Amino acid sequence: MSISTNADSHAERLVVCRACDWVVTLPVRAPGQAARCPRCRHHLTEAAQRDAQRPLAWGIATLVTLGLVFCFSFLSFSAYGVGHVMAFGDTLHALIADDYAELAVILLAFTALFPGLYLAALIYLCSAVQLGRTLPGQVVIARALRPIEPWMMSDVFIVGVLVALIKIISLASIHIHTGFVAFCLFSVLMLRTVTLIDWTSLWDVLAPRGSLPTKIRPGATGRAQGLVACHGCDTPFMADRGPCCPRCGKRHVLHRVNRIQLTWALLITATLAYIPANVYPVLSTIQLGNAEPQTIAGGVMHLLHAGDWPIALVIFVASIVVPISKIVALAWLCLAARRPRARASLSRTRLFHITEKIGRWSMIDVFVVATLTTLVQAGSLMSIAPGPGAVAFALVVILTMIAAHTFDTRLLWSAHTHTFGVSTDPSPSEISHSA
């Protein structure tokens, strides 16, 4: 069955860019073609797919691979004649035993729970398309899936594990088991599965969109025409029709400066949390009963003295440069949104998207702590325990990611004209090919 069964999917349509509020014409896409906004270069659609069979098949394979991660040993550690074999689930038990249940919840949610729920929901939706049936709750499930995507961090966790192994490889013998190989395969499959989802066509099958008034024209902002774009299903609809999207029921986000206050509140809280994240130790190495606490900066210096400068650079960038840069960049964008400049709108929007994408990689240090805590268990000879700095740092990462989500990039474009141009160009979206 074709994924694009709605007649409107085979004709040009008007869409509103969520990043800059520009109304553009979305032409018919051939398989593999994606669309970008001609004004701000924001992705309007993913690559078009012929049917729902490919994401369904990849989703099932990925979910099965995730299950295999819990069936085999993950890593093993041996030092001074004492060995320890860890499974993926042991990480949760170790963190809870050390009274750091918060880190256990974060680890489980970002590496297994969110991806597992995402894959199960995707399989459910694609099955509805393949069967040609309306299944219970499909619209609510589809609306909830895309906000989960930034919080799925299996790729970040793999980097964190590799960094942890390099940190202790000189102190002990490390062996990689089937569970870790399965997790690496799961991460690759997960990334591929997400790229195969054509949300525009999928929504056309799950809940066909309504028509727009004939007065709506491309080449102007949606705000100037009383039009808003749903952040749940990307459907444009008239703002006077109510506070919720008529297609998926999600409450739409108004174009207003007051929303920046929420972003400011999150940034200030993240800045305050960043102080204990650097003052308190993120982990403690215990050898023969002597505890050696280590802060983020202390860990970087320790790696430099040991000659592991590539890993020190990774930790320095991910745990120090990225969080500070993200807080500064978002704060500057909040100030810039109150005094928008037409010539700077594109560069500021690009800065925001870069800031939004790199923020999740700061979680590497948290995953390093979780891995070392579970793996390095040699009784009184050697063990590693998490520190309060790790919890504070995880809070910083989460708050900055939420702050980026609350920032409204449309405010950066409010200095542009809200009226129709004199050009006869219907402002079509730009089509690009994707694998």
Per residue in 39-62, pLDDT (tens digit) is 888 888 888 887 788 999 999 999
Residue 2 lies in a domain: no
Beta carbons of 152 and 92 less than 8 angstroms apart: no
Note the pLDDT of residue 110. Answer: 95
Q: What percent of the chain has pLDDT over 70?
A: 90
Half-sphere exposure of 341 (CA within 13 A, CB side): 7
Question: What's the pLDDT tens digit per position in 169-225?
Answer: 777 788 899 999 999 999 999 999 999 999 988 888 888 887 777 788 888 888 888
Beta carbons of 149 and 43 less than 8 angstroms apart: no
Note the pLDDT of residue 342. Answer: 81
Number of domains forming the structure of the chain: 1
Would you place residue 427 in the very low, low, confident or very high pLDDT band (cuts 50, 70, 90)?
Answer: low
Tokens at 239, concatenated: 């703002």
Instruction: Say which residue the tokens 């120090």 belong to.
Output: 320
Q: Report how far residue 294's alpha carbon sits from residue 282's, in angstroms, rounded to the nearest whole number.
A: 6
How many beta carbons lie within 10 A of that of residue 269, not counting itself?
A: 16
**Range(s) of the domain holding residue 313:** 12-417
Residue 430 lies in a domain: no
Q: Where are the alpha helices (DSSP H) in 282-387?
A: 296-305, 309-316, 322-338, 345-358, 364-375
Average confidence score pLDDT of the chain = 85
Q: Model's pTM, two decimal places? A: 0.88
Note the pLDDT of residue 435. Answer: 52
Residue 4 lies in a domain: no
Residue 5 lies in a domain: no
Question: Cβ contacts of residue 41 below 8 Å, gap of 6+?
Answer: 346, 349, 350, 430
Max Cα separation, the chain?
80
Beta carbons of 220 and 23 less than 8 angstroms apart: yes
Note the pLDDT of residue 209. Answer: 81
Residue 242 lies in a domain: yes
Q: Report how far residue 114's alpha carbon sits from residue 109's, in angstroms, rounded to the nearest whole number.
A: 5
Q: Report how far residue 74's alpha carbon sits from residue 166's, in angstroms, rounded to the nearest whole number.
A: 16
Radius of gyration (C-alpha) of the chain in whole angstroms: 24
What is the rounded average pLDDT of the residues 73-88? 81
Please determine, for residue 8, whether its predicted confidence score (pLDDT) is greater than 60: no
Please determine, for residue 413, whether its predicted confidence score (pLDDT) is greater than 80: yes
